[in-house]
Amino acid sequence: MLDKLLALEKRYDDLTAMLSDPKVISIQAEFQKFSREHAELHPVIEKIQKFKKLLADLESTEELLSSGDSEIKELARVELEELKKQRSELENELRFMLLPADPRDQRNVILEIRAGTGGEEAALFGASLFRMYSKYAESRRWKVEIINLNATGLGGIKEVIASIQGKGAYSRLKYESGVHRVQRVPATEASGRIHTSAATVAVLPEAEEVDIKVEEKDLRVDTFCASGPGGQGVNTTYSAVRIVHIPTGLIVQCQDERSQIKNKDKAMKVLRSRLYELELERQEKERSQERKSQVGSGDRSERIRTYNYPQNRVTDHRIGLTLHKLEQVLEGALDEIVEGLDTYYNSERLKEL
């Protein structure tokens, strides 16, 4: 680990020198690339410097233990225990920071939520989940853009596909894929019985054209009149687009925009992201790796979280985390869950390494 730390320090010093070099400054693309790397390394370098100071403190405290003064020895012994504890904590933090970054972490996200078992109650829960993620995105100043929405008359959502755009969106949301379960008394339930319903969430890293090349010959593009609210123009113009990817049978449609071109562009974003995920899954199976060890490969068939209204409780079953603040979580307070999942999966990666 020390070799890696020293290599990072040298790289940081080299980047600092390059960023003050007139030749680098004159080439904007290079300057931006090096500036980004320099900024990403800065928190690690700060931690390394703190670690080096701690090692120096440990050395000087150990020297005090060889002193003839018994009072100083006792003080040094107490301080040494505390410093060793700090060293252990810092070493763990540095190990996490040295884990290879997932190249997809900084990407935008395609979020898909679908009502599962539970009829209208599941659709209402789907709407609650979409609101929760929208609120979370808002708190992080990300942009949410609906691509396709299939709503019910009572305000529920059978299916919603949305783009979430913002720095680190995928890194924060990649472990949300799976089955989310709700336990509550539906508003339509006269007897007050608790019902259990479910909705599935899929979080895909938004694929770029360089990731997945889609041939026009492999596509069938249909246009049709959009349905739902939006006025006369929505229902009489062929602005809605459905794209079928013939080799895989994947179907994507978008009718959110009035423009057919914009709808096709949004639908292609979703299609590329789904094809990208299929390719990643194929690679993962070939490598025969455990699903849970894959960064961002949440299993959508797994029940990952329960939202229990009577007990004001949210439980994430993968990490055994229970929070008695359901209302805040549904208002977008997801950081405690997100960070708990991140720590757990990084720990699993550390074990493998």
Whether residue 103 is contained in a domain is answered as no
- Asked if 197 and 326 sit in the same domain, the reply is yes
- Domain-embedded: residue 235: yes
CATH code of the domain in which 63 resides: 1.20.58
Domain residues for the domain of 20 are 2-98
Q: What is the pTM of this model?
A: 0.68
Average pLDDT on 157-163 reads 94
Q: For residue 271, what is the domain's CATH number?
A: 3.30.160.20
On whether both 282 and 302 belong to a single domain, the answer is no
Whether residue 104 lies inside any domain: the answer is no
Q: Specify whether the CB–CB gap between 201 and 180 falls below 8 A.
A: yes
Domain boundary among 270, 286, 302: 286
Residues 80 and 179 placed together within one structural domain of the fold: no
Among 234, 266, 286, identify where a domain stops: 286
Residue 138 lies in a domain: yes
**CA trace torsion 337, 207, 130, 199 (10° rounding):** -80
- If asked whether residues 297 and 203 sit together in one domain, one would say yes
- 270 with 297, same domain: the answer is no
Same domain, 346 and 311: yes
CA distance 239 to 252: 14
In the structure encoding, which two tokens stand for residue 69, read together? Answer: 């003064």
Please state, in angstroms and rounded to a whole number, the distance separating the CA atoms of residues 6 and 48: 9
pLDDT, tens digit, for every residue of 209-236? 666 788 889 999 888 887 654 444 445 5
CB neighbour burial string for 120-130, b if at least 16 within 10 angstroms, e if fewer: bbbbbbbbbbb
Q: Are residues 229 and 330 in the same domain?
A: no
Structural domain includes residue 171: yes
Of 236, 254, 286, which residue sits at a domain end? 286
Span 261-318, pLDDT tens digits = 888 989 998 998 999 888 877 766 764 443 333 323 334 456 899 999 999 999 999 9
Question: Binning pLDDT at 50, 70 and 90, where does residue 192 land?
Answer: confident
Note the Cα 162 to chain centre separation in Å.
14
Residues 42, 175: one domain? no
Amino acid of residue 315? T
242 C-beta neighbours (distance < 10 Å), count: 17
- When divided into structural domains, the chain yields a total of 3
What is the phi/psi pair of residue 147, to 5°? -100, -45
In a domain, 142, yes or no: yes
Tell me whether residue 176 is in a domain: yes
CATH of the domain at 116: 3.30.70.1660
> Residue 75 and residue 97: Cα distance in Å, rounded?
33
Q: Are residues 203 and 297 in the same domain?
A: yes
- Count of residues in the chain: 353
Whether 312 maps to a domain, the answer reads: yes
Cα gap 1→91, rounded to integer Å: 9
**Average pLDDT for 123-132:** 96
Task: Using the predicted structure, report yes or no on whether residue 238 has a pLDDT greater than 90.
Answer: no
pLDDT tens-digit profile of 87-111? 988 988 888 888 777 778 888 999 9
Residues 105, 173: Cα–Cα separation, whole Å: 9
Identify residue 219 by its one-letter amino acid code: L
Whether residues 21 and 129 share a domain: the answer is no
Could you tell me which of 38, 56, 170, 41 has the C-alpha nearest to residue 94?
A: 41
Residues 203 and 278 in one domain: no
Per DSSP, 334 falls in state: -
Indicate whether 229 and 91 sit together in one domain. Answer: no
User: CB within 8 A of 44, min separation 6: which ones?
Assistant: 8, 94, 97, 98
The pLDDT value given to residue 295: 29
